[in-house]
Structure 1
Amino acid sequence: MHRVRLAEIFPPGGPPITAERYELRSDTSAHSHDFIELAVVTDGTATHVSAAGEQHLDRGSVTLLRPGDWHGYHDCRRLVVYNLYVSPEAFRRELAWIRAAPHLGRILHGRSDGPLRLDPATLRIVETGLAETAAHTGPVYAVRVGILLCLLGGTAVSEDATDDQAAHVHPAVPAAAQLLENDIQRAWNLDELAATVSVSPPYLTRLFTAQFGVPPMNYLGRLRAERAAALLIETDLPVAAIGRLVGWHDPNYASRRFRHFFTLSPAAYRTRFRPGG
């Protein structure tokens, strides 16, 4: 049974990164969760099913899922997958420097057209570390952070990120991201956000997209959708109330924006993925 809630994965006072190993020989039902998951295939093959469609997986494939993303595995043939779970808050606190590093923000926040890949040498390093940390042996937290860096760095290289503009992060970019994250209910617009961080709207859009792979308002929309997804599976609040809580005051607009990210209406998402539902 896949765990879908932060509290189930990260107990109070525990580290914000953990790992598990799965060996799958049959289909798994689609499920969602409210944390970041990096799934690394070390053996076998399968078809990965998600809002992005169906994608073939084999050794070296890496799937990155953000909070709210749903997925499952079909046609599993001796599939061995290691899941590295990371609390989203960790990237806003102790690991905030990672997403500000050149190219890594785009891996964490941008949409990929397919599974990421690790080269054989990096995969061997990651596989060894995952096997150790999944068994809870050795300096676990340090190993997990190292694995995370290898995964993100290795997939960034595989994406061939060569945009010089992303090599130096303008301070307006993390400042704008933090403003959006700290107040997703606010009726932000690009002009107001750009003025707050003292750059022009077109320049902010260019800088932000280079670092995170999406423009600022798309980034805000994703934050709202992620929070709405968590509330749908964690609470009994009406869908319209959840929309208002994340800054979408028109129910029809809220439903359209939610569908844009997860391909399901809020009500259908709750019915399909709420534990025990």
Structure 2
Amino acid sequence: MTGSYKFKIIDDLDDFHTRWSRRFRERQIPVTAYHFPHERAGGPRHDHDYIEIQLCAGGTGWQESALGDRPFREGDAFVLHPGAWHRHHDNDDVDSYVCGFLEDLLHHELLWTLDNPRLNRLLWRASTQDHNGIVAIHLDPPALARCVAHFEALVAIGESEDPETNPDRLGHLILILSCLAQGMEPLHDEDRNGSGRGADVSAASGVVHVAVKRSVALVNENLAEPWTASELARRLNIDLSYLGRLFQAALGVSPMQYIAQARAKRAAHLLLRTPMPIADIAEDVGWPDPNYFARRFRAHFGITASEYRTRHLSPQS
């Protein structure tokens, strides 16, 4: 997913965005947002262990990512999944909104988004398939105005850790995601129904089979188990090959590919949010063999677990 560049998080007094990223890691807030009305400074290449949404409400800048170096202008938005790197630069009074939310929301409160073809592409397939974990979107003026209104409401909640604010946070996040999903390119048949061998098991409505939803919840709640595709199928009382086709139709990957990605992302999350030794993290995510864990983590993020932790948590690198 990542390239050969070096990750870098710089805790610079002028770089409010990266300081916010650090605070978001330290706080137990499921969703939060900030408004940067006159952004001129750039930033280093970096990624996150949460999902980030960036929206431009005015001005002109540039966003470099695995999609290339793209203009960041009024109506442009990017959704970046964990591990997807980006860098903003050459900002000319950019009026931007940034929202971050924990990927765990997808496995619980937002699991239903699997059934919506556009939200599936935005939140699931962009992460599981080889799309570099990034979705670029452009909103027309009416959609941008609606999206900004929901961002403003989320920004107004602030950084309060009061759990009473969580329903409002989640509600505004869903409305933001709805605006972004409507701004995506129209769906093709292969997007709506899956492709290849999986196409026959996904209804035209886009509704995802309950076995996939149960698998996602079961795996993410029990990552330490020694999962095999056969064991997952047995737990769900479903044919192994049929389960494979269901996963391909819904997520574009096999069950074991999904499990590997879930383990790598959980490992990244624990590296940044806990002081756990890497060996303990490896066991916690279901890769107890240190050498195997090292290979799989590097395959997903392009760097070792120790490098990932150091480059994201140290004040400078």
User: Normalised by the shorter chain, which TM-score bucket?
Assistant: 0.7 to 0.9
Question: Aligned pair 1:29/2:39, yes or no?
Answer: no
Counterparts of 1:91-110 in structure 2, within 5 Å, are: 91-110=106-125
Of residues 229, 232, 244, the one that matches 1:205 is 244
Of residues 127, 130, 139, the one that matches 1:119 is 139
**Other-structure match for 2:8:** none
Offset of residue 159 of structure 1: 6.0
Offset of residue 53 of structure 1: 6.1
Which stretches of structure 1, 4 residues or more, deviate above 6 A after TM superposition? none
**Other-structure match for 2:62:** 46
- In 2: Cα distance, 1:97 partner to 1:234 partner: 27
Offset of residue 272 of structure 1: 0.7
Q: 1:254 to 1:55 in 2, by over 3 A?
A: farther
Q: Which amino acid aligns with 2:70?
A: H
TM-score, L = length of structure 1: 0.82
| Higher RCO (CA 8 Å, separation ≥ 6 residues) | 2
Of residues 251, 255, 272, the one that matches 1:216 is 255
Q: 1:143 to 1:235 in 2, by over 3 A?
A: closer
Q: 1:83 to 1:9 in 2, by over 3 A?
A: farther
**Other-structure match for 2:32:** 18
Structure 1 regions of 5+ residues with no counterpart? none
Counterparts of 1:185-200 in structure 2, within 5 Å, are: 185-200=224-239
Q: 1:85 to 1:234 in 2, by over 3 A?
A: closer
Aligned length: 268
Offset of residue 117 of structure 1: 0.9
Q: 1:252 to 1:81 in 2, by over 3 A?
A: farther
- In 1: Cα distance, 2:81 partner to 2:258 partner: 12
Q: 1:21 to 1:184 in 2, by over 3 A?
A: same
- In 2: Cα distance, 1:209 partner to 1:257 partner: 21
Of residues 145, 154, 157, the one that matches 2:182 is 154
Structure 2 regions of 5+ residues with no counterpart? 1-18, 159-166, 194-201
Q: 1:65 to 1:4 in 2, by over 3 A?
A: farther
Offset of residue 178 of structure 1: 1.3
**Other-structure match for 2:149:** 128
Percent identity, please: 31
Offset of residue 180 of structure 1: 0.9
**Other-structure match for 2:198:** none
Q: CA RMSD in A?
A: 2.9
Paired residue secondary structure (1:252): helix
Of residues 294, 298, 313, the one that matches 1:259 is 298
Q: Which amino acid aligns with 1:56?
A: R
TM-score, L = length of structure 2: 0.73
Structure 1, residues 135-163: CA drift from partner, whole Å, max 9, x if none? 449x9544343122222x225x4262532
Offset of residue 183 of structure 1: 0.9
